[in-house]
Amino acid sequence: MTNNQLTEKGQLRHFLTIEGLNRPLLTEIMDRAEQFSSISGRQVKKVPLLRGKTIMNLFFENSTRTRTTFELAAKRLSADVMNLNITTSATSKGESLLDTLHNLQAMHTDMFVVRHAQSGAAEFIAQHVAPHVSVINAGDGCHAHPTQAMLDMFTIRRHKQHFPDLRVAIVGDILHSRVARSQIHALSTLGVGEIRVIAPKTLLPSNTQTLGVHVYHDMKTGLQDVDVIIMLRLQFERMQGALLPSENEYFHSFGLDQQKLNYAKPDAIVMHPGPINRGVEISSDVADGDQSVILEQVTHGIAIRMAVMSMVLGSRSEQQESVE
Ligand code: CP
């Protein structure tokens, strides 16, 4: 996949993948999100940074957290935001993706936020939009979910500060997870000391060894002394054939309950991008427990998406003045 998401000056023109982005840029996204977080605590939760800009949410695949936080983020930046309802749009009458895009672009759209079941869809759209239009990937197939990874990094930084000191474990269906791929790129770029993946062999991609991670097939050794545990959902909608014996057996071996959580450091945080499946990959007492930061991740999604949209669309100096 090409990396055409940066301008000649190294600024974000699109936001399609974490792959190929450097540490200063990821840090800038988090620093900017830190500024935007304070806006959510104000009486008037708006800044005029993107006033006059038009942002279209194109979700060809279901979403709760990503779609709504992108919409909230755009509104807090004072942009005009539209949500195209794909099920009632003319795509159901046979209109092609590119024709739909060109029609929406003709309405003077400045940015498309795209979720699609097909890996590479956001990149494809970015290659076909007009020069003044930007594209943000809100999750494409098994490939990437870069804003999710950045809100996860932001959440980790809020709790643990110094990335090189950390041991992070990602647990579950790595094979089908766009989130895991983006997280591994982000954790690695930010210099995390040790990245572990814990999964049955059937749920690991064939190129796992090239990702720079340590692989474990059992929770007891994999979770030993980790600072951060990221649980993943079993993505049945992307599985072809039976890769697991049963949900019960999966939970017994790889589901996070209080007993398995005790293998990690006592102050370890528990994360999950959502949606969670209680009793399949995580028990309710852990999902709702003191070490869980799952709902914090959702909240941070707004500030991270404000940061990314403002960096992609705005000039940096003007933005800085308007935040203050
Ligand atoms: N984490 C995530 O992408 O959730 P949604 O599918 O609800 O957007």
Q: What is the 3-state secondary structure (H, E, C) of 229-268?
A: EEECCCCHHHCCCCCCCCHHHHHHHHCECHHHHCCCCCCC
CB atoms under 10 Å from CB of 60, counted, come to 20
* Residue environment code for 155-187, b if the CB has 16+ CB neighbours within 10 A, otherwise e: bbbbbbeebeebbbbbbbbbbbbbbbbbbbbbb
Question: Residue 320 has what pLDDT?
Answer: 43
Confidence at residue 100, expressed as pLDDT on a 0 to 100 scale:
92
Q: Is the CB of 148 under 6 A from ligand 1?
A: yes
Rounded-to-integer distance, Cα 233 and Cα 228, Å: 17
pLDDT of res. 242: 64
What's the pLDDT at 15? 98
Confidence of residue 324 (pLDDT cuts 50, 70, 90): low
Mean pLDDT of 166-193: 97
Residue 260 has pLDDT above 50, yes or no: yes
Query: C-alpha distances in angstroms, 42 versus 12, 36, 126?
Result: 28, 11, 35
Q: Coil, strand, or helix at residue 216?
A: strand
Instruction: Say what the pLDDT of residue 90 is.
Output: 81
283 C-beta closer than 6 A to ligand 1:
no
Ligand 1: centre distance to CA 9 (Å): 32
Count H helices and E strands in the chain, helices first: 12, 9
Q: Is the CB of 146 under 6 A from ligand 1?
A: no
Given a cut of 80, whether residue 244 has pLDDT beyond it is no
Percent of the chain with pLDDT over 70: 95
CATH numbers and ranges of domains, the chain:
2-143+299-323 (3.40.50.1370), 146-297 (3.40.50.1370)
User: Residue 146 pLDDT > 90, yes or no?
Assistant: yes
CA–CA distance from 21 to each of 58, 262, 321 (Å)? 24, 35, 26
Q: pLDDT confidence of 318, banded at 50, 70, 90?
A: very low
pLDDT bin (cut points 50, 70, 90) of residue 240 is: low
| Any atom of ligand 1 within 6 Å of the Cβ of 273 | yes
- The Cα-based distances of 195 to 154, 166, 260 in angstroms read 17, 8, 18
Query: Which H or E run includes 302?
Result: helix 294-313
Q: For a ligand 1 pocket test, name from 60, 62, 65 the mutation site with the most ligand atoms within 8 angstroms of its C-beta.
A: 65
183 lines ligand 1 (CB under 6 A): no
Residue nearest to atom 6 of ligand 1 (CA): 63
CB distance 7 to ligand 1 below 6 Å: no
C-beta 65 within 6 A of ligand 1 = yes
Q: Which residue has the tokens 């190929």?
A: 20
- β strands within the chain, DSSP E: 54-59, 80-84, 111-116, 134-140, 167-171, 194-198, 214-216, 228-231, 269-271
Provide the mean pLDDT of the chain: 93
137 lines ligand 1 (CB under 6 A): no
CA trace torsion 297, 302, 303, 308 (10° rounding): 110
**Which pLDDT does position 214 carry in this prediction?**
97
Give the pLDDT score at 315: 45
CA distance 46 to 61: 28
Note the pLDDT tens digit of each residue in 84-138.
Answer: 988 778 887 888 989 999 999 999 999 999 999 999 999 999 999 999 999 999 9
Residue of 57, 58, 60, 63 best suited for mutating to test ligand 1, as the one with most atoms within 8 Å of CB: 63
At residue 323 the predicted structure's pLDDT band, cuts being 50, 70 and 90, is low
Provide the token pair at 186: 């982000």
Residue pair 160/269 in contact by the 8 Å Cβ criterion: yes
- Beta strand 228-231 pairing with 269-271: parallel
Residue 74: pLDDT over 90 = yes
Is the pLDDT reported for residue 321 higher than 60?
A: no
Ligand 1 atom, smallest distance to 274 CA:
1
Cis peptide before 275 (omega within 30 of 0): yes
Interatomic CA distance for residues 259 and 29, integer angstroms: 36
Is-contact 85 92, C-beta < 8 A? no
Distance CA 63, CA 81 (A): 17
**2-6, 36-40, 153-157, 195-199: the lowest-pLDDT one:** 2-6
Could you tell me if the CB of 274 is within 6 A of ligand 1?
yes
